[in-house]
Amino acid sequence: MTLKNPEYDFKWCPGCGDFGVRRGLENALEKYLAETEQPTENTVVVAGIGCSGNMVHMLEKEQPFGIHGIHGRSLPISMGIKMGNPDLNVIVVAGDGDFLGIGAEHIAPQAMRNLNITAVVMDNGVYGLTKGQSSPTTDLGVITSSTPYGKMEEKVHPLRNYLTMGVSFIGSTISNKVKDMSDMMYEAMSHPGFSIVHVQSPCTEYNNTYEALKGSVKKGIEPLAYDIPEGHDPSDAEAAQEVVNADGIPLGVIFRDTSRPTFDQRVKDTTGSKEMKSVESLIEGFSI
Amino acid sequence: MKKQDFVVRFAGEGGQGVVTSAEGLAQAMAQSGYHVQTFSTFPSQIRGGPTWTQTRIATETVLSPGDELDVLVAFNEYAYENHKDDVAADGVIVYNQGEFEIDASDNVLGMDFDELAKQTGNNRAANFVVMGALAQLVELPLKVLEDFNRERYTRGRPSDQQIIDSNNMALSLGSVEADKSGLVLGEIAEAVKPEGEQILVNGNIAISLGATAAGLDTFVGYPISPATPILLWMEQNLVGEGKFVYQSTSEIESITSIVGAGFAGKKAMTSTAGPGFSLMGEGLGLAWMAEIPLVVVNVQRGGPSTGLPTKTEQSDLLTALYPGHGDIKLPVIAPGTVEECFYAGIMAVNWAERYQGPVVLLSEHAMSERRQNIPRPDMSKVEIEKRKTYEGSNGYLRYDGFELSPMPIPGGSGAYIANGSEHDAMGDTTHLPARHIQMTERRFSKLNLLNDGNFESENESAKVALVPWGGSKGSVLAAYNQLVNEGLDLAWYYSMYVHPMPEGMLAALREKDLVIVPELNYMGQFASVLRSEGIKAVAITQYTGLPFKVGELATRVKDLVSNSVAEGVSV
Ligand SMILES: Cc1ncc(C[n+]2csc(CCOP(=O)(O)OP(=O)(O)O)c2C)c(N)n1
Ligand code: SF4
Ligand SMILES: [Mg+2]
């Protein structure tokens, strides 16, 4: 929408990781819709507030529905949409501050429900839109505009938390590997249950971590990010635990559990299979 | 003259059968054609703690809980000490002699509730012992209560007959005790059966039934007194394919998930009370901004903060109108009776659908627990509305223009972005002044679609008007009737449509020299709203956590009128 719309004036900074995430998401969506033979309007993109959430306005191919709500609440909004119409393909796009800070309380409940949506979390370790304050994933001791003497709390480990909370699909990827990311997002959309694709999406303006993530031979910097070894079995919870406990940023599908029913299936089987009384007979129950 | 009206208060400790007694009596009397209304306040603790419930029985529609008691049934000494002053001069105190002793005085009837129950072979028959005594005091034929007993306990279980027999025995034991005492209150007049079928419900159930009748699809709520029964009712009854009812993890989750449901094309609702409503402010702003239909029921309790969770107040009006930051003023429907709760449930959903935005249904604690006989709703007279949806081709400008436009539904054509940031016609974020002007005016213009509410009026030519709102309606109407009988020239105006208020009512009120607004809050919230509409409104406030007493209120109205006359208002 954005390119055709002169009124929309938000732009990502040159080199922002979110550009790559957009490409990955567009490709994954295209493939998913083709495979499942769904029209684009069957997809709803639910955006958090942040540079990342602006994704919903930036998609350049055929337009899905979107909702750009309030800071931190994309998960409960997506629950209302999905449970209102379980046939929709619902995708959350949010930043680390939105998803893991103000909105953190919403992750565990959706994991327990196994809400069948896909969340794409763009982690840049900083609050981009509000110009560079520390975020839950900012490292201890780092100086940001809001931590002038260094950050005084330890950073959150999102992947460990997702696993502990019972998220049924956990993938970790990086914004410059568009093909891998897109494949992972496609898998996540196809996954029956709550899937999170956690993307390292560096903020070139306030927290440029490209070098740290990818390393530099020239400067002798070891890369933080590494591919999860080929043999890893995502259905093995213990193996997944080892991956998230290790140092660094593992790249690949970490965990996948397809054995649990989705939330909409549970509702369908529990209250959905009951027959509702007519309004007349509900009223009749109170007659004197 | 026979007694037309009979007020009994049952007071004791949670678990002593206080509520069962009061509600059983109400049910029994309603079944034999009397008008009834109950009123309760509960302790916050789960078990034990002082509690009381009042039942008012009359031959005409009951408007208020009753200022004075004909009978106080005291289950323990604390209850006696705390409530004895509310007993009318010619009233009677029935007390549980098994628990405590009152020094002999001429209007007390002591009996050992539990010992008498034991004699029937059913330890749980104590409330029937009490009801038997009450019947004797007002010369009510025991048959009325026996019929109720039989109907209530015929449940197809082997023990049915035994329970029915022991309860009947309890009724006569109680009646004999009252007879022995020689106390009488006077014979209660025979019931004049209300015209048409009646149902016995409280405000929370009436709202739930109304919203369900309006075609509700989705309900998400978080437990909070006094709104919890609505959530529980929905969990139980709003089932079947396509329905989604769920207990959320917070009111933030409640409101934002029904924003999602409303966006997805569903009729969606949540219910809460003060603290939860505060948490919903941001989500309500989103629904207003992005033009998403939904309903929030706020069953008011005493505030601010955790406030008085189990007491009544009408102090959330301003926050209901202005729940969030920025230019926003929500439609508010505040039913004044249990019967209106049903229609408010319907109209709140209808309004949300019609103007494509959030609607607040403002009830209150006193009404949520108030069980009353009301005419059975006639579903054939109820119109159910549905939002205008967009069915055209893609490339639609969802937010074009200054007025309501059809709403695309995900899965169908016309994809757009429902945006809580200021946006352009297709829903993309924008900061252009012209857009903010257009969209602000658009959002407010849609309120004009809701101007069709009805209102009540009496004696329109008077220069002074009495104008209640919400759950105080009944008590204020009783005071109004009393004052008019005394010869005061007073007009009456009332509507449950608090915003937008019916144009005709606003216009009439602007012509008055004085508009008196009795309301249960400190700030005089509704009066201040009326003043902002150019109406000379003055509040009579009360902030005790309890409803108005009719007599006291009538006196305050009279005083206010005569003071105003002294200041030059013509009556
Ligand atoms: C309730 C609320 N609090 C604060 C803000 C201000 N705010 C907007 S975006 C943001 C942080 C965004 O950080 P993140 O989610 O990491 O997104 P990024 O911009 O880094 O992509 C904040 C604090 C807001 N919009 N709403
Ligand atoms: S501030 Fe950072 S996150 Fe935001 S657009 Fe610029 S580079 Fe991207
Ligand atoms: Mg961020």
Tens digit of pLDDT for each residue in A251-285?
Answer: 999 999 999 999 999 999 999 999 999 999 999 99
B75-B77-B82 Cα angle (round to 5):
95
> Residue A2: its pLDDT value, please?
47
Q: Is A206 in the pocket of ligand 2 (CB under 6 A)?
A: yes
Is A181 within the bounds of a domain? yes
Pocket test for ligand 2, best of A9, A96, A206, A209 (most atoms within 8 A of CB): A206
Is residue A4 situated within a structural domain?
A: no
Whether residue B566 lies within 8 A of chain A, CB to CB, comes out as: no
Q: Point out the ligand nearest to the CA of residue A48.
A: 1
pLDDT at residue number B380: 86
Minimum CA distance residue for ligand 2 atom 1: A128
- Is residue A283 in some structural domain? yes
CA distance B233 to B206: 11
The predicted structure's pLDDT at residue B136: 96
Which pTM value belongs to this model? 0.97
- The amino acid at residue B154 is T
Does residue A13 belong to any structural domain of this protein? no
Residue of chain A whose alpha carbon sits nearest to that of B281: A70
Render the burial of B197-210: b for 16+ CB within 10 Å, e for the rest: ebbbbbbbbbbbbb
Longest dimension (CA), chain A: 87
Q: Which domain holds residue A266?
A: 18-287
Q: Helix B18-31 and helix B126-137: axis angle, to 10°? A: 50
| Tokens at A259, concatenated | 């054995």
Q: Which residues on A lie below 8 Å from B265 (Cβ)?
A: 84-85
Ligand 2 contact, A127 CB (< 6 A): no
**Cα–Cα distance for residue pair B335/B495, rounded to 1 Å:** 8
Q: How far is CA A237 from the centre of its chain?
A: 21
Q: Which of ligand 1's atoms lies nearest the C-alpha of A203?
A: 20
Min Cα–Cα distance to chain A from B13, Å:
28
Evaluate whether residue A264 is within a structural domain: yes
- The answer to whether the Cβ–Cβ distance between A70 and B427 falls below 8 Å is no
Alpha-carbon gap, residue A61 to A209, rounded angstroms = 29
Q: How far is A153 from chain B (nearest CA, A)?
A: 26
List chain B residues with pLDDT less than 70: 43-47, 570-571
A221-250 pLDDT per residue, tens: 999 999 999 999 999 999 999 999 999 999
Instruction: State the distance between the two ends of chain B, measured CA to CA, in whole angstroms.
Output: 35
Residues forming beta bridges with residue B333, ordered by sequence position? B361, B497
Q: Which residue stretches of B421-519 are H helix?
A: 433-445, 473-485, 503-510
CA atoms of B393 and B398, how far apart (whole Å): 12
Residues in chain A closer than 8 A to B238 (CB atoms):
276
Residue A12 lies in a domain: no
Whole-number Å distance between alpha carbons of A79 and B218: 11
List Cα–Cα distances, A12 to A22, A69, B383, in angstroms. Answer: 11, 19, 49
Tokens for A44, please give them. Answer: 């709803």
Q: Would you call A279 and B209 a contact, using CB atoms and an 8 Å cutoff? A: yes
In a domain, A194, yes or no: yes
Q: Angle of helix A237-245 relative to helix A158-165, nearest 10 degrees?
A: 160
| Chain B positions in Cβ-Cβ contact with residue A9 (cut-off 8 Å) | 430-431
Taking CB atoms and a 6 Å cutoff, what residues make up the pocket around ligand 1?
A 48-52, 71, 95-98, 122, 124, 126-130, 135
User: Mind telling me how many Å the CA of A182 is from chain B's nearest CA?
Assistant: 23
Per-residue pLDDT band for A4 (boundaries 50, 70, 90) equals: low
- In the DSSP assignment, the letter for residue A43 is E
Tell me the DSSP string of B279-324: HTHHHHHHHHHHT--EEEEEEE-B-STT-BTTS-----HHHHHS-S
Q: Counting beta carbons within 10 angstroms of the beta carbon of residue A201, is it exposed (0 to 12), middle (13 to 18) or buried (19 or more)?
A: buried
Say yes or no for a CB contact (<8 Å) between B263 and A81. Answer: yes
Higher local confidence (pLDDT), A223 or A8:
A223
CB-nearest partner of B264 from A8, A81, A288: A81
Rounded to whole angstroms, how far apart are CA atoms A34 and A69?
Answer: 28
pLDDT digits (tens, 9 = 90+) for B344-399: 999 999 999 999 999 999 999 999 989 999 999 988 888 999 999 999 998 899 99
Number of structural domains chain A divides into: 1
pLDDT tier, A9 (very low <50, low <70, confident <90, very high otherwise) = confident
The fraction of chain A above a pLDDT of 90, given in percent, is: 95
Is there a contact between B465 and B535 (Cβ–Cβ < 8 Å)?
A: no
d(CA B371, CA B359): 25
Per residue in A43-97, pLDDT (tens digit) is: 999 999 999 999 999 999 899 999 999 999 999 999 999 999 999 999 999 999 9
How far apart are the C-alpha atoms of A155 and A157, rounded to whole Å?
Answer: 6
Give the separation between CA B89 and CA A154, rounded to whole angstroms. 71
**CATH number of the domain within which A153 lies:** 3.40.50.970
Question: What is the average per-residue pLDDT within A109-128?
Answer: 98
Taken in order of first residue, the domains within chain B and their CATH numbers are: 5-181 (3.40.920.10), 200-381 (3.40.50.970), 388-450 (no CATH), 456-566 (3.40.50.920)
User: Quick check: is A176 in a domain?
Assistant: yes
Q: Which residues in A lie closer than 8 A to residue B258 (C-beta atoms)?
A: 80
Residues of B with CB below 8 A from A272's CB? Answer: 239-243
Q: How far away, in angstroms, is A72 Cα from ligand 1 center?
A: 8
User: Which residues surround the ion ligand 3 when the cut-off is CB under 5 Å?
Assistant: A 95-97, 124
Contact predicate A268/B198, CB 8 Å: no
CA distance A214 to chain B (A): 34
Regarding beta strands A65-68 and A133-134, do their DSSP bridges make them parallel or antiparallel, or are they unpaired? unpaired
